[in-house]
Amino acid sequence: MELTSQMIKERDMALVDRFKGGDLAAFEELMGLYENQIYGFLVKMCGCAEGAKDVVQNTFLNAYRYLGKFRGDAAFKTWIYKVASTSCLKEKRKESSRGFHISLDDFLPKEKPGPNHKKPSWLRTPIEELLNTELSSHLKQSVVKLPKKYRLVLVLRDLEGFTAEEASEALDISVGAVKSRLHRARLFMRKELVGYYGDRSTT
Amino acid sequence: MKDDCLALFEKMSEYIDGELDPKLVTFAEEHLASCPDCGENLELMKKSLTIIKGSFQEQVPDSCQKELREVIRKEHEQNK
């Protein structure tokens, strides 16, 4: 039987309560439930497994330290992603894109396509034929080029499946900010893809 | 870029995600029906998203379960 989100929330809260009573096994159980998900999230955020290992450790160490204050207003899953996102923002290493702002103007089509304009050929190519290891590695590097405030939103929403509301709770920003950052991050990624295919007829 | 094209360009992600205000959905659909450039722009964004999502669907490398448990147990011992 598949658990509903309410059942998951109650299961997790029961474990949190046991932990608050001093039961380390309850915390380890919570780790077992979420560590792969959080690790996967951080690998996408860091662009490599090695960098993610340090952040995953800080995430669960901070979770251990602050779980006593968790009241259960949000789901534990949202809370643990919030701890992971904060750990990620604090991780300064390899962050070369700080202060980089993405403006919508950077992505506006420069001119109206002429009469001989052709659609990029990859638009017509089936998705199965497009996906390959080289493309995947190119896109992973592209995600890491994004400043973290945009990267976090893109990874949470498009790769981890968070709703706008969940991402807003996990990142402590408004739903409007989530949507605005997501759109800019997607435009950036789209530009990277267009660059990859070497077809610059559309930005 | 015309004002209507610009308005749609700004709201394209919300439109794709089905999070656009219903009044704006009507505007977007009417505009898309008459503007092939915006249609292509939207198609490009949707395809990009499918490619991005598809490219990240892979097994996560071996986790760090053992190290993680050691770190937490150490912290727990220190707090006793």
Q: How far is CA A147 from the centre of its chain?
A: 12
Give the per-residue pLDDT at A101: 75
Give the per-residue pLDDT at B59: 58
- The predicted model gives B34-54 an average pLDDT of 93
Q: Which residues of B touch A167 (CB under 8 A)?
A: none
Residue A202 pLDDT class (50, 70, 90 cuts)? very low
Residues 6+ away with beta carbon under 8 Å from A8: A75, A77
Least confident among A47-51, A137-141, A190-194, B68-72: A47-51
Give the per-residue pLDDT at A9: 94
Give the per-residue pLDDT at A53: 86
Q: Which residues of A touch B8 (CB under 8 A)?
A: none
- Tell me how far apart the alpha carbons of residues A140 and A127 are, in angstroms, rounded to a whole number: 18
- Tell me how far apart the alpha carbons of residues A62 and B54 are, in angstroms, rounded to a whole number: 32
Contact yes or no for A140 and B56 at CB 8 A = yes
Q: What is the DSSP string of A104-120?
A: GGGGS-SS---TT----
B50 touches A at CB < 8 Å: yes
CA of A132: which chain B residue's CA is closest?
Answer: B55
- pLDDT of residue A99 exceeding 60, the answer is no
Give the per-residue pLDDT at A94: 54
Best mutation target among B10, B44, B59, B71 (most A Cβ atoms within 10 Å) is B44
A64 touches B at CB < 8 Å: yes
User: Count of residues for chain B?
Assistant: 80
Interior/surface letters A145-164, b for 16+ CB within 10 angstroms, e for the rest: ebbbbbbbbbbbbbbbebeb
Percentage of residues of chain A with pLDDT beyond 70? 92
Q: Which of A31, A135, A186 shows the shortest C-beta gap to B68?
A: A31
Q: Which residues of A touch B76 (CB under 8 A)?
A: 24, 64
- Tell me how far apart the alpha carbons of residues A157 and A161 are, in angstroms, rounded to a whole number: 5
Contact yes or no for A64 and B72 at CB 8 A = yes
- pLDDT of residue B15 exceeding 80, the answer is yes
Residue A106 pLDDT class (50, 70, 90 cuts)? confident
- pLDDT of residue A201 exceeding 50, the answer is no
Residue window 126-165, chain A: list those with CB within 8 Å of chain B. 127, 130-131, 135-136, 139-140, 158-159, 164
Contact yes or no for A193 and B48 at CB 8 A = yes
- ipTM for the complex? 0.88
Global pTM reads 0.89
- pLDDT of residue B47 exceeding 50, the answer is yes
